[in-house]
Structures are given as structure tokens and as C-alpha cells.
């Protein structure tokens, strides 16, 4: 079966337990899949768009209500849908970073955070991580002082990742924002790995801006995401158009400049909205998901030589392992070389770990159930035993 010539159907999450680091939290709910079919056509949410003609004012389907619910869910004042967390960074940087402004990022910032600074012609400065791979308030304070001393300017913005993509570690965002605010630096909290998975309360974290990724963590189609802010910053980041056509005299109502007017006009917004009730429930069950992740890590750690590079015990399901002294030893002599591990996992119905990796690799077990957690744990141990690796404990 295929979609059309040359385009096969994709059957990954139907057939496998998918541990892909970036895919686990974006897997669609059944309701989102229904929305995808019903709202697949281009501007499908525009059937009942009436004055003032803006996405967040549409009441059928209930996008206006969804925007309000999202802001409340995130404990912020205002929310807008954006095509990915990155477009949230871009909107914020575009609105508040001027050419030559220093901007703080971290040693774990995502490339799209850097690109948003670059596009605004700001100058990126990274806050280093400590030896346990956490961004500490002391490191932030030191870097702020240094940047002010060397550039003569206070940073225009600070990016912090709630959970980073390299180690899946949880960073002390509330403490980091407290430090930044002492210097009047606004903070964007990047919740690409948390909004939609964990219960994220923006104001409790002190965030001036909070971004989430629909396709990474909110069970939504790509490209989708959310940018939320406080009343203090809303007028700046969501400023409305003021230009006029010089010949025609046309003006453009209340379209928001950084949003380019409207953002998610069909399958993305409705898919996100269809998953939202599920997302609201699932953030309350994150503890169970963390328990499964720890169960898998513990199974891996029982294979001698295996290390977990992320903080342990885990506080998030995205985890970085080091199997240089276990699975990689097998890879040296195995006929399938480094591919033996991912191939053996695949035989057991598990996919999503980068093919061929036996050294340092990541998995994200978000969304699995009890039986699947047991199966994944048992599979790693079975593979190790079959290859003659010693087990401890
Ligand atoms: C995935 C990721 C992003 C990008 O999210 P999009 O929604 O695809 O734009 C940004 N930051 C971090 C930390 C990420 O892991």
C-alpha cells in the first residue's frame, strides 16, 4: 500500500515501540488523526472567519477559546499558535533584540535559538553548564556580569531551556529567571521538551516568554507550537500592524506583525486543539512516565560498563546513555558491526535509536505503558546476555 507513486505509507508507531528522542511526545492522538483528515485542506479553519479576521478570534472551530485555554494551561496571560517553538524564538528575538545587542543562551541551547538571535543581528553568549550538566544560577550571574563588563551592554534577552535536548536534564528555571530579572533581562523559557508533557506553569518559573512545540511534545502535527507571554510583554511581541499602502492607502486591521497575521490555518491548529484535552490529562501522569524511563535505565545499568550521562535518577524521559564499555565492545567484532544493537532491538519491535549507535545515544520512552516498559528493559538485557556481556546485580 502507498499514498501515491513513490510515497509509501509510514508505519512506524503502528508497528513498533518508538523511542526516537524527538518523536515520542509528538505522536498523534486518535482525535488529532481525525482532525488531520477533516481539516487537511489548506485554509480549512477559515470557513467561519469573520471580522476582525484573525486566527485567534475564530470561534468555529473554537480557536479563540483554545487560545485562552492554552494561556491558562501555561499559567501565562496571552498565547498564540506558532509554526514550531523556533517561530516563537524568532518572534521574541525579532521584537526585542536589536542589532549588536548581546543575548544570553546556554551551553545546551538549540540551534534554532541561535538562529533567531542571528536573524535579529544580536550577539550570542552562552552560559556554561556545571559538571552535572546543569545550568546554574551562579553560572548565569557570572556570565551576565562578564558580558556587561566586556560589551558595555546589558543582554536584551536570556534563553533558558526548561529541559535540554542533549541530556534531558531539568534546569532550575525559576532561579535562573530570578538572576536575570535582577539585571532587568527578560527570559524566554524554552519548553520544547516540557510543555505538553509536564505541567509547566510559566509565571511560577518567572518566564516572560514561554514556548512549546506542538509536534515535539503536544501530540500535534508539524509545524505547530505555542508562544505565551505576560501582559507586560504582550503588546511588544504581539504588536499590531501600523503600515499603510502608499498608493492604495490600504491598512491591515489588527494583524500581528511578528505572527505575520495568521499562523496555523488548518490541520496544525485543529490537530493541536483535538489533542489538547488529552495533553491536559497526560501532564498529570508524568511521574509514571519517569518511572518507566528509570526502569529502562536501571536495566541498562545492570549491563556492566554501561553509564547514564543524564542526571540520575531521571526526571525526564529523554535520556543519554553511554555504552562504550558494553555494547560498543560487542560492535567491534560483531558481523553487523555497530548495527547489531538497533537491529536486535528492531527484531523485538523497538525502534527510534539512531541506527548503528553503540557508543553515546539517546532514547525517549515517553508514552509507553507498563508492559512496553518491561519489554524494552528485558530486551536490552536479553541482547546483552546473547552477546556475552556480563550483568551485575
Ligand atoms: C526540538 C527543539 C526545538 C525546536 O522545536 P520546533 O517546535 O521544531 O521549532 C527547540 N528547542 C529545543 C530545546 C528542542 O529540543
Q: Whose CA is nearest to atom 2 of ligand 1?
A: 192
What residues does ligand 1 touch, defined as CB less than 6 Å away?
22, 84-86, 110, 112, 161, 165, 190, 192-193, 213, 215-216, 225
C-alpha to C-alpha distance for 65 and 69, rounded to whole angstroms:
6
Predicted local confidence at residue 86, as pLDDT: 98
Give the pLDDT of residue 368. Answer: 98
pLDDT at 51: 95
CA 43 – CA 263 distance, rounded (Å) = 11
> Which of the four pLDDT bands, split at 50, 70 and 90, describes residue 181?
very high
- Tell me the sheet residues that pair with 82: 225
Which residues touch 68 (CB under 8 Å, ≥6 apart)? Answer: 79
Place of cell 538485557: 381
Q: Percentage of the chain with pLDDT > 70?
A: 100
Q: Per the structure block, which three cell numbers stand in for 196?
A: 505538553
Dist CA 289 CA 358 (whole Å):
24
In the predicted structure, residue 1 carries a pLDDT above the cut 90: no
DSSP state of 336: T
Tell me the CA–centroid distance for residue 36 and ligand 1, in Å.
22
Please tell me the distance between residue 198's alpha carbon and the centre of ligand 1 in angstroms. Answer: 16
Residue with cell 509536564: 198
Q: How far is the CA of 219 from the centre of ligand 1 (A)?
A: 14
CA of 173 to the centre of ligand 1 (A): 17
pLDDT tens readout for residues 334-360 = 999 999 999 999 999 999 999 999 999
Residue minimizing CA distance to atom 15 of ligand 1:
165
Confidence of residue 393 (pLDDT cuts 50, 70, 90): low
pLDDT, tens only, 230-281: 999 999 999 999 999 999 999 999 999 999 999 999 999 999 999 999 999 9
Q: What percent of the chain has pLDDT over 90?
A: 99
Please give the DSSP secondary-structure letter assigned to residue 57: G
Instruction: Provide the pLDDT confidence category of residue 164 given band limits of 50, 70 and 90.
Output: very high
Domains of the chain plus CATH, in order, are: 2-22+285-386 (3.90.1150.10), 26-283 (3.40.640.10)
Q: What is the pLDDT of residues 118-141, one digit of tens each?
A: 999 999 999 999 999 999 999 999
- pLDDT(316) > 90: yes
Tell me: pLDDT of 49 over 90.
yes
Report the nearest-CA residue for atom 5 of ligand 1. 85
The contacts found for 340-345 with CB under 8 angstroms, 24 or more apart, are: 340/387, 341/383, 344/379, 344/383, 344/386, 345/379, 345/383
Residue minimizing CA distance to atom 7 of ligand 1: 84
Residue 242 CA to residue 4 CA, distance in Å, equals 45
Using the atom order of ligand 1, give the atom closest to the CA of residue 164.
13
Report how far apart the first and last C-alpha atoms of the chain are (Å, whole number). 47
- For ligand 1, mutation pick of 216, 227, 317, 364 (most atoms within 8 Å of CB): 216
**Average pLDDT of every residue of the chain:** 98
- The mean pLDDT value for 372-378 works out to 98
Say what the pLDDT of residue 78 is: 98
∠ CA 59-63-68 to the nearest 5 degrees? 105
Block residue for cell numbers 500592524: 241
Helix, strand and coil in the chain, % to nearest 5: 40, 15, 45
The grid coordinates of residue 110 equal 538549540
CA of 31 to the centre of ligand 1 (A): 24
Give the helix ranges, DSSP H, for 11-104.
Answer: 30-38, 63-73, 85-96
Model confidence, pTM: 0.97
Span 209-230, average pLDDT: 98
CA-nearest residue for atom 8, ligand 1, is 84
- Over residues 83-121, the pLDDT tens digits come to 999 999 999 999 999 999 999 999 999 999 999 999 999
pLDDT in tens, 380-389: 999 999 999 9
Amino acid at each position: 500500500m502507498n499514498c501515491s507513486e513513490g510515497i509509501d505509507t509510514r508505519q512506524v508507531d503502528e508497528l513498533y515501540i518508538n523511542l526516537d528522542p524527538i518523536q515520542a511526545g509528538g505522536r498523534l492522538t486518535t482525535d488529532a488523526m481525525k482532525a488531520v483528515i477533516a481539516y487537511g485542506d489548506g485554509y480549512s479553519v477559515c470557513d467561519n472567519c469573520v471580522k476582525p479576521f484573525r486566527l485567534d478570534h475564530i470561534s468555529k472551530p473554537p480557536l479563540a477559546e483554545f487560545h485562552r485555554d492554552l494561556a491558562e494551561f501555561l499559567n501565562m496571560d496571552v498565547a498564540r499558535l506558532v509554526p514550531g517553538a523556533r517561530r516563537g524564538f524568532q518572534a521574541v528575538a525579532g521584537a526585542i533584540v536589536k542589532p549588536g545587542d548581546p543575548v544570553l543562551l546556554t551551553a545546551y541551547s538549540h540551534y534554532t535559538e541561535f538562529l533567531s538571535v542571528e536573524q535579529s543581528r544580536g550577539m550570542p553568549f552562552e552560559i556554561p553548564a556545571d559538571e552535572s550538566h546543569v545550568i546554574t544560577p551562579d553560572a548565569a550571574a557570572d556570565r551576565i556580569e562578564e558580558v556587561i563588563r566586556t560589551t558595555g551592554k546589558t543582554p536584551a534577552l536570556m534563553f533558558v531551556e526548561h529541559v535540554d535536548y542533549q541530556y534531558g536534564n531539568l534546569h532550575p528555571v525559576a532561579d535562573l529567571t530570578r538572576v536575570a530579572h535582577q539585571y532587568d533581562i527578560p527570559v524566554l523559557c524554552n519548553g520544547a521538551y516540557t510543555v505538553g508533557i509536564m505541567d509547566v506553569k510559566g509565571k511560577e518559573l518567572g518566564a516572560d516568554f514561554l514556548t512549546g512545540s506542538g509536534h515535539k511534545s503536544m501530540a500535534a502535527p508539524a509545524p505547530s507550537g505555542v508562544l505565551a507571554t505576560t501582559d507586560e510583554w504582550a503588546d511588544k511581541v504581539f504588536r499590531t500592524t501600523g503600515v499603510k499602502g502608499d498608493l492604495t492607502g490600504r491598512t491591515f486591521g489588527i494583524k500581528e506583525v511578528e505572527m505575520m497575521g495568521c499562523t496555523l490555518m488548518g490541520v496544525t491548529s485543529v490537530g493541536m486543539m483535538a489533542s489538547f484535552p488529552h495533553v491536559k490529562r497526560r501532564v498529570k501522569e508524568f511521574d509514571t512516565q519517569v518511572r518507566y524511563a528509570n526502569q529502562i535505565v536501571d536495566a541498562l545499568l545492570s549491563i556492566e560498563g554501561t553509564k547514564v550521562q543524564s542526571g540520575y535518577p531521571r526526571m525526564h524521559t529523554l535520556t543519554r546513555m553511554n555504552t562504550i564499555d558494553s555494547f560498543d565492545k560487542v560492535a567491534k567484532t560483531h558481523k553487523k558491526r555497530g548495527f547489531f544493537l538497533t537491529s536486535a532491538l528492531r527484531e523485538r519491535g523497538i525502534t527510534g535509536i539512531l541506527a548503528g549507535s553503540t557508543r553515546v545515544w539517546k532514547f525517549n520512552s515517553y508514552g509507553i505503558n507498563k508492559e512496553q516498559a518491561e519489554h524494552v528493559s528485558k530486551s536490552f538485557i536479553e541482547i546483552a546476555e546473547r552477546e556475552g556481556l556480563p550483568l551485575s546485580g
